[in-house]
Structure 1
Amino acid sequence: MINLFQPQVGAEELAAVAETFDDKWLGHGPRTRAFEAAFAEHIEVPAEHVIFVNSGTSGLFLALESMDLQEGDEVVLPSLSFVAAANAVLSCGARPVFCDVDPRTLNPTVEDIEQALTPRTKAVIVLHYGGSPGDIVRIADRCRELGLTLIEDAACSVASRVDGRAAGSFGDIAMWSFDAMKVMVTGDGGMIYLKDPQRAARTRRLAYHGLAQPSGFGYAQVSSRWWELDIPEPGRRVIGNDLTAAIGAVQLRRLPEFVRRRQEICALYDRELGEVPGLLLPPALPEGHESTHYFYWVQTAPEIRDDLAGDLYKQGIYTTFRYAPLHKVPAFGSQALQLPHSDWAAERTLCLPLHPGLSDGDVHTVAAAVRKVVENRHATDAPVAP
């Protein structure tokens, strides 16, 4: 099977894990702090504002918890987002309000967000679809003007930038995911960045039981009664550990090579599929934008898209559509909402395999299969975005 995603791990990661085993310290410790510092340097923010957690989802939940939202408060986010974002909003007693997206980039514009704002809006969550930063500069400016907290779901955009500035550093809070399907992996894991120093310090406590300071071995150096607890408010245990941080540190060093290969694969798809009638490819990035190239998506007529996915699967090629529109999910209570661009994209978009483990031959195989299915279905005209 040619997989959609595939982690790139090997001898360097194994060596880092072995060193951690040799040190006999697998939990939260020096490697965690070193990984946080290295990631902070990568996105050019202070290290004390970055916290390694056990998943990007935990980062989303912590982000919303840090805001002290009340019942009736609203958080605007694109419908084409990962389900964890809406779950995090609901878990805090607030209401997710879904906005539309550009049908080709699948990123929200500032105008899409403005149409969903109400007097009850407290925050905006933006996903950088497929690693493309989208309209983040204008969105960040508008949120500052309105006094709204901007949360960047940067799970897809660990190496994305606009004019040299890292995705995730434009808003007030951001999180990244390092699960087994992401561009850089730690097995499970994530990072959260909080611009405000007090909010960052509080979130670090909330990520570890709400403790104002450790109560174990490390604290014995500064207190004669290190077992005593100081808990200003309750928290959970969602911190990362040295075992996964050791893998993450290696992956972060290898990140440039991962992104280069992803960029090469996207360029090869562009060449192979650019002349296929009835097929749209991802739009070109605006000047100054750099993408992590997490997704490569094509768009075709709805009556062809599902058959295309099924035929490719029969040929040993796994594809999917990410992310299914959340305004269609009954649990979020928004089925009556009309988001025509999101609906248009959800019916026509398919994500093709994209990871550095693909050979050029694999890409040619996928492209040839896509071309054959689309041409056999006689799709002569590319779909026209509304």
Structure 2
Amino acid sequence: MINVVQPALGERELDAVREVFESNWVGRGARTDQFETALAGHLGVGREHITSTNSCTSATFIAMELLGVGPGDEVVLPTVSFVGVGNAIAAHGARPVFCDVDEATLNPNAADIEAVLTERTKAVVILHYGGYPGSVAEIAELCRDRGVRLVEDAALAIASTAGGRACGTFGDMGVWSFDHAKILVTVDGGMLYVRDPELAARAAKIAYFGLEQRAPGRSGPSSSFHSGYDQALRSRTRWWDYDVTSFSGRSTTNDVLSAIGTVQLARLDEFIARRREIAQAYDAGLADVAGLRLPPPLPAGHTSSHYMYWVQFDGGVRDQVARDLFERGVYTTFRYPLMHRIGAYGSDAVLPRAEAAAEKTLLLPIHQSLSDADVDRVIAEVRDRTAARLGGARAA
């Protein structure tokens, strides 16, 4: 089976994990600090604005807490989003308000966001669908003008940029995912960017029980390992004492996963280059297939992480083609099921462009482990089954 997504992990990652084991420190420590610092450099932001977490969803929950989202508030997000975002909003007592998306890119534009803003809107959360930046600059400007906070779900956009600026850094906060299905994989993990320095400092405390002072045993063998002792000695307090500033849980990562992440980040350019090659091969190999639409070209100044490659079918044959491909060993899927149709969120929105896209969009395999033979096989199978299904539909 050719998978839709697949990690690229090897000897370099194993060596990094072995080094962590040999250090006798596997909790949060020097390697987590190293990963956070490296990722901040990749994003072009200060290290103090970055907090690592155990998942992107945890980062989103922390973002909602930092923004003070609560009962009576509304948070706007595109209906093509992941349930982790909706859950973070609803769990804080706020109401998710879903907006429509562009039928071809599955990203919202500023007008889609503006159409559902009200006086109760506390924040906007946008997803960079498939790694496409979308109208992020325009949406950020809209949110600033309306006094609404913007959170970017950049889980699919680890290397995406618009105008030379990293996705995830346009708004007030950004979140990333490093789980087993992403481009940069730490097995499980996430990251939170917070623009405001005071809120960024709070984020790190919320991620670890709301503790005011980091105990030395938590920090590990890093520059911060001795800081607890030094600070305690200067203030004549005991280094094992701490205070609690919020009633929060534990959302931190550890040095084992961070060591993997540091290696993966060093390999990110090669990963993105390979994914770009695959996207270009699909563009060339599927361009002339009747009844099949490909992702639109990126606007000038935009770069994509190429996390997803999607095609859209005329004639209502998407599901049949997906079944055909699965039977031939090519796994495909659709992401993400429309959130305004999920009963738990209590939405009665009618979003025609998203609903149309959800009935015809299919994600093809794209990951850096695909061989040229795999790509050729996917192209051949998609061409064959699309022609067969659409031919049958026309005949009927």
TM-score (structure 2 length as normaliser): 0.94
SS of the aligned residue for 1:350 comes to strand
Give per-residue Cα distances to partners, 1:129-179, cap 9 Å, x unaligned. 000000001000110111110000000000000121111110000010000
State the distance in 2 between where 1:202 and 1:165 align.
Answer: 25
1:277 corresponding residue in structure 2: 290
Give per-residue Cα distances to partners, 1:190-210, cap 9 Å, x unaligned. 110000001101111000000
* Aligned 1:284-323 pairs, distance under 5 A: 284-301=297-314, 303-323=316-336
* CA displacement at 1:379 relative to structure 2: 5.4
State the distance in 1 between where 2:393 and 2:279 align.
Answer: 23
Pick aligned residue for 1:356 from 361, 368, 384 = 368
Instruction: Give the residue type in structure 1 aligned to 2:325.
Output: L
Give per-residue Cα distances to partners, 1:342-383, cap 9 Å, x unaligned. 10000000000000111111111111111111111235999x
1:222 corresponding residue in structure 2: 231
Deviation above 6 Å: which 4+ runs of structure 1?
A: none
* Aligned 1:1-386 pairs, distance under 5 A: 1-217=1-217, 218=225, 219-223=228-232, 224-301=237-314, 303-334=316-347, 336-378=348-390
Residues 54, 190 of structure 2: 8 Å contact kept: yes
Distance 1:279 1:381, change over 3 A: farther
Residues 7, 183 of structure 2: 8 Å contact kept: yes
Residues 279, 298 of structure 1: 8 Å contact kept: yes
Instruction: Give the residue type in structure 1 aligned to 2:374.
Output: D
State the distance in 1 between where 2:392 and 2:327 align.
Answer: 24
Give per-residue Cα distances to partners, 1:57-101, cap 9 Å, x unaligned. 111111111111221100000000011010000011100000000
Instruction: Give the residue type in structure 2 aligned to 1:230.
Output: D
* CA displacement at 1:221 relative to structure 2: 4.2
Gaps of 5+ in 1: none
State the distance in 2 between where 1:47 and 1:125 align.
Answer: 23
Residues 315, 393 of structure 2: 8 Å contact kept: no
State the distance in 1 between where 2:391 and 2:261 align.
Answer: 44
State the distance in 1 between where 2:111 and 2:47 align.
Answer: 34
Residues 277, 381 of structure 1: 8 Å contact kept: no
TM-score (structure 1 length as normaliser): 0.97
SS of the aligned residue for 2:264 comes to helix
Q: Which moved further from structure 2: 169-178 or 363-372?
A: 363-372
Distance 1:179 1:302, change over 3 A: farther
Give per-residue Cα distances to partners, 1:264-295, cap 9 Å, x unaligned. 00000011100000000000000000000000
Gaps of 5+ in 2: 218-224
Considering only aligned residues, what root-mean-square deviation do their CA atoms show, in Å?
Answer: 1.4
Residues 277, 380 of structure 1: 8 Å contact kept: no
Distance 1:100 1:32, change over 3 A: same
State the distance in 2 between where 1:177 and 1:70 align.
Answer: 24
* CA displacement at 1:216 relative to structure 2: 4.2
Residues 317, 390 of structure 2: 8 Å contact kept: no
Instruction: Give the residue type in structure 1 aligned to 2:382.
Output: V
Q: Which moved further from structure 2: 144-153 or 221-230?
A: 221-230
* CA displacement at 1:222 relative to structure 2: 3.1
* CA displacement at 1:302 relative to structure 2: 5.8
State the distance in 2 between where 1:372 and 1:35 align.
Answer: 45
Give per-residue Cα distances to partners, 1:88-124, cap 9 Å, x unaligned. 0001110000000000000000000001111100100
* CA displacement at 1:303 relative to structure 2: 2.6
State the distance in 1 between where 2:356 and 2:391 align.
Answer: 17
State the distance in 1 between where 2:216 and 2:263 align.
Answer: 28
Distance 1:216 1:262, change over 3 A: same
Instruction: Give the residue type in structure 1 aligned to 2:7.
Output: P
State the distance in 2 between where 1:95 and 1:30 align.
Answer: 39
* CA displacement at 1:213 relative to structure 2: 1.1
Give per-residue Cα distances to partners, 1:282-330, cap 9 Å, x unaligned. 0000000000000000000363100111111111111000011000000
SS of the aligned residue for 1:303 comes to coil
Residues 71, 94 of structure 1: 8 Å contact kept: yes
State the distance in 1 between where 2:89 and 2:277 align.
Answer: 37
State the distance in 1 between where 2:74 and 2:103 align.
Answer: 24
Aligned residues: 381
Percent identity over paired residues? 51
State the distance in 1 between where 2:106 and 2:341 align.
Answer: 16
Residues 278, 380 of structure 1: 8 Å contact kept: no
2:222 corresponding residue in structure 1: none
